[in-house]
Structures are given as C-alpha cells and as structure tokens.
Amino acid sequence: MPVKKTGSESENEKKMLMSLRLVMHWTSLQLILKNWLILVLFLGHQVEKHYMGKNKTKWAKEPGPRNVRTRAENLVTAILPRIKRCARDAKTPIDCFYLRFDDRMLNYIKVD
C-alpha cells in the first residue's frame, strides 16, 4: 500500500529536487565554460604565431627551427657596400679627406 506523504515531506522533496537541478545546471555550466576556455586558448595559441606591426609586417613570436637548411631565396646575393681599394690605400687623414672632396668641389667651396 502506498504511503501517504504529509505536506512538509512533499515540500522537502520539492526543495531537494530544486537544489539538485540547480547543482546539475551549475555543473553543466561549469563544464561548458571549461570547454569553451580550452577551445579559446587552443585556437588562440594556434592562430596567433606572430605579432603584427603598424605597417602590417608580421614578426614571428618564436624563432624558426635551427636544424633546417636556409632556402636559396632567403640568401642575400647582392654586393654589399665595402671599402674600395683606393680607400684602403689611404694612410693619412688628408688622404681620406681628398677621397671625399675632389679639386672641383674644393674650388666650388673656396672663398675669395
């Protein structure tokens, strides 16, 4: 035979069910937030591997691999500025001065 419940017992059951639903809702909300945070951190780490400069230049956050051969297109093959032979042969400051200023320039600067 079913037991008849009093009003206070049914009230207690309702409160227990409400608190249980609230705990379950809170737990599922925590799980959703945790998964969302993991997803955001994972995607953010994967997408942003560089800094963006004001002029839209991409700067890598991490250095490239050290054990990889440098590609041929990344090598500088242009002749870089160097000291010319005549400048190497100049021994005194006056010789260096005359390398920079020739007679024509000195005549132009000359004050009478």
pLDDT at 44: 58
pLDDT at 79: 73
Q: Percent of the chain scored above 90 by pLDDT?
A: 1
pTM higher than 0.85 for the full model?
Answer: no
Q: With respect to residue 17, please indicate whether it lies within any of the assigned structural domains.
A: yes
Q: With respect to residue 2, please indicate whether it lies within any of the assigned structural domains.
A: no
Report residue 81 CA to chain centroid gap.
33
> Domain residues for 103?
82-112
Reported as type and span, the H/E element at residue 52 is strand 50-52
Q: With respect to residue 65, please indicate whether it lies within any of the assigned structural domains.
A: no
Considering its fold, how many domains does the chain have in total? 2
Q: With respect to residue 103, please indicate whether it lies within any of the assigned structural domains.
A: yes
Q: With respect to residue 24, please indicate whether it lies within any of the assigned structural domains.
A: yes
Q: pLDDT for 14-37, tens place per residue?
A: 777 777 777 777 778 788 888 877
Q: With respect to residue 109, please indicate whether it lies within any of the assigned structural domains.
A: yes
Q: pLDDT for 42-68, tens place per residue?
A: 665 555 678 888 888 888 888 888 888
Reported as type and span, the H/E element at residue 103 is helix 103-109
